[in-house]
């Protein structure tokens, strides 16, 4: 069964007035990618803003995995697609609803929360199959 990763982002939105963020959002707006998971996950504007604010290469958020410089909105979408399609799923932690999907890309995709190289992606999915966050670890 094939399902779509639906990206629900308006064409224009900005985080901290960043033109880069607006361009990333524009690249994501209205695009769809197919995944073979039997379920559909949605990357919302809220989740995308969180990922950019906390996990983008330019983020100054402490103790958080960061994507590699050169990561684009399209490559983020592709990584989430691949993780959802081929990753290992487990229940969310601490009794929270939803699931965690983890996938090893066998190549560096960013840095982990300690600043070391990261090749795995963790995608947290809420109970309505919406992406809560995604980050390298």
- Residue burial 54-67, b: 16+ Cβ < 10 Å; e: rest: bbbeeeeeeebbbb
Q: Are 43 and 131 in contact (CB under 8 A)?
A: yes
Q: Is the pLDDT of residue 59 over 60?
A: yes
Q: What pLDDT, on a 0 to 100 scale, did the predictor assign at position 10?
A: 37
Q: What pLDDT, on a 0 to 100 scale, did the predictor assign at position 129?
A: 93
Give the integer Cα–Cα distance in Å for 44 and 40.
Answer: 13
Report helix, strand or coil for 50. helix
pLDDT band at 40 (very low <50, low <70, confident <90, very high): confident
């Amino acid at each position: 069964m094939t399902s779509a990763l639906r990206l629900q982002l308006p064409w224009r939105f900005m985080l901290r007035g960043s033109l880069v963020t607006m361009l990333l959002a524009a690249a994501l707006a209205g695009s769809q990618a197919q995944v073979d998971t039997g379920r559909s996950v949605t990357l919302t504007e809220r989740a995308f803003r969180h990922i950019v604010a906390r996990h983008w290469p330019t983020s100054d958020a402490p103790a958080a995995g960061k994507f590699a410089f050169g990561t684009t909105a399209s490559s983020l979408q592709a990584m989430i697609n691949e993780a959802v399609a081929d990753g290992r799923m487990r229940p969310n932690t601490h009794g929270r609803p939803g699931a965690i999907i983890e996938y090893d890309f066998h190549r560096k995709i960013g840095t982990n929360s300690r600043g070391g190289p990261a090749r795995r992606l963790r995608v947290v999915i809420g109970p309505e199959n919406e992406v809560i966050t995604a980050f390298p670890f």
